[in-house]
Every structure is written in structure tokens, then in C-alpha cells.
Structure 1
Amino acid sequence: MRLGVLDVGSNTVHLLVVDAHPGARPLPAHSHKAELRLAQLLDERGAIGPDGVDRLIAVIRDGLEAAEDKGVEDIVPFATSAVREATNADDVLARVKDDTGVELRVLTGEEEARLTFLAARRWFGWSAGKLLVLDIGGGSLEIAYGIDEEPDAAVSLPLGAGRLTAAWLPGDPADPADIKALRRHVRAQIARTVGEFSRFGSPDHVVATSKTFKQLARLAGAARSTEGLYIQRELKRKSLEDWVPRLAAMTEAERAELPGVSEGRAGQLLAGALVAEGAMDLFGVETLEVCPWALREGVILRHLDHMPTG
């Protein structure tokens, strides 16, 4: 069957269309996305304003049209931290349902971490052993650890690259004092969680998902996305530590000229790099492997798991 997953994230609204059925690997057929940056549309009360809701509804309608054009039989819609943390989330969800017919399921941060972990586990397989999975989104950082498909520990921290950029790094280029303050904040937040994971022992593989890690790995020399999903891509902490001061000295426009960095993500790449560097340092990670699958694939896999096979 042709299945669509509609992801209302902090940065983008992304429709991923796959050909899938229970027990089989989902094959991507189409991708439709729009940059909305919901996390940056919150007003001083933490609410998504009328203009933001109107734009969200318009983008969802575009996604539904794309899904229909591509012959999608079933759509799984969900939202993450930007909607979850909006003070008017219930009103936004009701308006979306009234105007589009889409009933968004709002994932908790822990659910995000668990579903992302599921995607990584299915991608790497049982032979990968114990996995530590890191995912940097626009609004939050997810961390999960385990040996099975359900992680033994899963947490979500408010350390998304978009959120941190808007709150901590107003300058272009960023002010060194602001960068230092953000670095201190990021590491204090991550350090509080390290003990929860270290009691399980060292992981056999450390895995990273998300656009931020893919871009950082590309900067450090990993293969281009055009070379395919199945080429192993890694990010070494030493390479990342070399890149952080270079990114800090650049303007947003200069970062957008770097290989693998999209114009829409260039502004938040420094904050994402500080989170990635802090996580790798505090968890004692020298090298991590980049996983092509992430939250959207985890949602698809869980949906397929609950479909009848007969």
C-alpha cells in the first residue's frame, strides 16, 4: 500500500510517501516539505498566533493535495515540540481538524525518542547490539539507549537547534559571549541526563539521526546524500570540535555556502553543532554513525506493526 506520514515539526511540515506493507522495508516514493519554523512563530505568551495557524493550515492542505496526487491510501499525521509546547495547542489542533479534517497526534518528547530509536534499531539490525541514539530537531534533543526495539532509557531535552538559535544567538555572526553562554547552558542540560544512561554500560554503537547531524557529518567529509543511503557516514568528535569555532565566526549567509548546508538550516547550524559537540563530549563518544532513518520512519514502522497481516 502507499502510506503517507505528515510530520508537523518545529522547522518544517514534511509529507513522506512510502510504499509499504507489514513485514517489509518501507520504500520512499515521494517527499513534499515546506519550511514553516513554527517554533519561531510563538508569541510572547508561547502561543501560535493567528497568522501562524493560517500558514500551518495552508501547508497541511498542500500536503494533503500532494498525498492525493501520489495515490496515498492512508495518512499518519503527527506533531512534535512546537505544537506540543504551544500554550494554545488545543485550539490549534481543533482549528486544524475543522479546516482540513486532519487530526494531528501530538507526540510526547519521550515518544519521539522511542520512535526514533525504533527506526535506528530496524536500520542497523539486532547485530548492532546496544545502541545510543541522538537526534537534534528544531525544538528538542532526543536521547535513547537500549538493546531491544524498545529503549531502556529515553529522554527529550529542550535543546533543539531552532529553539536555541532564536533564544540565545540573535547576532549574525553570533556574539562570542552569547555562544559561551549557550555552550554552558547546553552542557548543563545534557549533563543532568548522563547518569541515567551510564548505568546501562557502554553502547556498542552510537547513532545519530536528523538533518543537523547529517549536515555536520557532511562538513566533516562524509559522502554526499546523492551517493545513496547505504554508504556508511560518520562524524568524529575531533572533526566537530574543529568546525565549531569556524561556524561561530561565520555569518548565516557564509554557512549557507558550505557543502551540504541548506539555506533554511544555515542559521541554526551553530546551535546544533554546540548541542552535538556537548552530547558527544559528555557521553564520551569519539565517533558516531549517521542513520538515514529517523522519527518519520519510526512512526511508519510502528503504524505497520499494528496493521493486520492477513
Structure 2
Amino acid sequence: MQEKKMAIIDLGSNSARLVIEELRSNRTYDEIYRVKEDTRLSQGMGQELVLQKEPMERTIAVLKRYQEKITEFAVDQTVAITTAAVRSAKNQSAFLQRVREETGINFRVLTGQEEAHYDFLGVRAALPDVRNGVILDTGGASVELIPFKNGQAQAEVSLPFGAVNLSEKYHLADHIQQDQIATASATIQQSYLDLDFIQDFQQQPVILLGGANRSLAKMVERKHLGYRLSNLHGLMMPVVQVRQIFDHIAQMDRASREHLAGLEKSRADIIISGLLPVLNLTKVLQAPQVIFSESGVREGLIESFFEENE
């Protein structure tokens, strides 16, 4: 394989990301550019599952800027993927056609299983010493779960709830009632208990991906260390600490959360709902700790590319 520049656009339910990587023939790569913008593409989809005008406009404006950067960096290949919001949208085809016409970007809509598979490849490559556990990738409109033993995935599952749609459905954005959290938690726990592998992975660690989970790590490091770590990858945290930070921010209103150290202001309205998937998974699994991974679906795509071109 010749060395090349690859751009990866990851259009999620809550944010859009662009990374540009320098790929080498020895299966190594260096990141040369990275940007993330909150687009809230899934905002207001509701039970009708229709992408709304304003979120689509925001998203297309961001994608136009990304295309300019891709041209600026003289990229050899662009891989554009999109996940839960577009995957479930009834107006998916019309939206993607408009994106092609206005930006020139052709998106591949990942299935939930494909998204989970790339998550697994990314984590396996970046955390080779973690041989057993359950990966949880929390997005805006879905979560992906991958239980693995001895470094091998046992299942690759996607469930249709995430930070944005949980917040909208259970009214978890501003002044939050405990009964709303309890109702959402009961539904999430039942979804987990219905999965075949749950009983086989009791007391295993949970490996965390996704923006909400990264926010958790950033809040904890600011609170307990007083400064930011240069890299959150591989950071381990006892589950009791996860619950403490959740209980602390669940008492706050949105305005207070907007000024919380380590939390992006734009996530203040979805951080409670964004942490419910991990909170309830650790409870169902009786997990002792969580481990943070900075490597996920985008890195998994690169690993897959290397495998295909060997």
C-alpha cells in the first residue's frame, strides 16, 4: 500500500467530525488535522423520525467547511460515514441527495452492527492489553455494545437510544425530576437485560466511547486533579466515582451545568441523558470500573482499510 492522506467525516446524531490522517505502508498513521462541530442533526426528530430543516441546514453548512479543508489538504481519499440519526430518518434519501448536490460528499450509512464492528476494531487496536469487557459507544441517537472475551467480539449490537433522543423523550434537559431519571433508567436497564450476553459478562469492565462519556472523564479529572490530562485514553475510573459525578450534576439545573469545569457548554442539556447508558450498564453488569478509549469508529475504519489492502 502506498502512503496516502485519508479524510474521514463522521456525521453523528449530535456532532460532525473531520479527521485527516497520513497513512503509511507499515500500518501506522498520524493525525494531521481534526475538528468537531455540534450539529444536533437528530434534534426534533421525535417519534416521526424526520430530520428537521434547521438541523439539516446547520449540518450542511458544516460539511461545506469540511469539504474546503479536504481540498486544502490535498486529500487522496475521503471516507464519509453517518450513523443513527440518518440511519433511522424517513427522509434519509432526500437529505443525502441534498448533501451530495451541495457539498459533493457521498455518505455511507452504517448499519448499527457495522458501527459496533468498527468501534471494536478501533478499541482492540488501541487497548490491546484489555482482553475482556463490554464496549459502550454512546451517541446522540443510539448506543453500540460489543462484549468481548480474549480479544474477540462475542456480539455487535446497536440500540436506538442516545443522549439527544433520551433527553427529548424524558425531558432531561433543564430542571430534572428524579422520577424522570428513574423512568428512563428502567427502560434502559430492560433493554440491556434483554440482550443474550449480559449474564455472561457480569463484573467485567466497561470500555467507554462517545462524546458524553469523554465529558465524564473530563469532569472528573478537573474535579479531582484540578487540571486536564493530555490524554484520556486508557484512563480507568471506579464505577462508584461515575455514580458520584452523575448524582452531583443531576442536582443542577442547566445553567449551572453550563459552567461546570470540564463540560462543554453545548452538552449541558444532554449530559444527564448521555450518562444514563453507562450508569445503567455498569449497574446491570455490576461492573467494577470503566476504561476510557479515545479510539473508536474512525480508527476502526482505518484498521479495516489496512486489512483490506494487505
Q: What CA deviation, in whole Å up to 9, does each residue of 1:177-221 have, x standing for no partner? A: 22221122221222212x32434x568753211222222123333
Aligned to 2:199: 198
1:148 is displaced (CA, Å) by 6.7
| Segment of structure 1 superposing worse, 63-72 or 298-307 | 298-307
Residue aligning to 1:142? 144
Identify the residue that residue 209 of structure 1 maps to in structure 2: 209
Partner of 1:60: 63
Q: 1:41 to 1:56 in 2, by over 3 A?
A: farther
Aligned to 1:80: 83
Question: In the TM superposition, what is the alpha-carbon distance from 1:251 to its structure 2 partner?
Answer: 1.5
Q: How far 1:265 moved relative to its partner?
A: 1.2
| Counterpart amino acid of residue 267 in structure 1 | D
1:32 pairs with 29, 35, 41, which one? Answer: 35
Cα 1:185–1:6, aligned 2, differ >3 Å: closer, same or farther? same
Is 1:272 aligned to 2:274, yes or no?
yes
Corresponding residue for residue 165 of structure 1: 167
| 1:183 corresponds to which of 169, 182, 185 | 185
User: Does the CA-based 8 Å contact 2:206-2:282 persist in structure 1?
Assistant: no
Q: Supply the AA of the counterpart residue of 1:198.
A: Q
Please list every run of 5 or more consecutive structure 1 residues that lacks an aligned counterpart in the other structure. none
Count, aligned residues:
305
Answer yes or no: is the 8 Å Cα contact 1:132–1:203 preserved in 2. Answer: no
Once the two structures are overlaid, the 10-residue window that deviates more, 57-66 or 210-219, is 210-219
- Aligned residue type for 2:214: K
Task: Give SS of 1:39's match.
Answer: coil
Task: Report what 2:99 is aligned to.
Answer: 96
* TM-score normalised over the length of structure 1: 0.89
Aligned residue for 2:206, secondary structure, equals: strand
| 2:298 alignment counterpart | 296
Inter-partner Cα distance in structure 2 for 1:226 and 1:4? 28
**Which 10-residue stretch deviates more, 298-307 or 40-49?**
40-49
CA-CA distance at 1:122 after TM superposition = 0.2
Give the CA deviation at 1:255.
Answer: 1.5
- The sequence identity of aligned pairs, in percent, is 23
> How far is 1:226 from its partner?
5.3
Structure 2 alignment gaps of length 5 or more? none
* Change beyond 3 A, Cα 1:67–1:266: same
Change (3 A) 1:224 1:87: farther
Residue 21 of structure 1 and its aligned partner are, at CA, apart by 2.7
Secondary structure of 1:71's match?
coil
| Whole-angstrom distance in 2 between the partners of 1:32 and 1:185 | 34
Q: Which amino acid is 1:300 matched to?
A: I
Residues in 2 aligned to 1:272 and 1:76: alpha-carbon distance in whole angstroms? 27
Question: Structure 1 stretch 9-18 or stretch 172-181: which is displaced more?
Answer: 172-181
The question of whether the paired residues in 2 share the 8 Å contact of 1:118 and 1:149 is answered with no
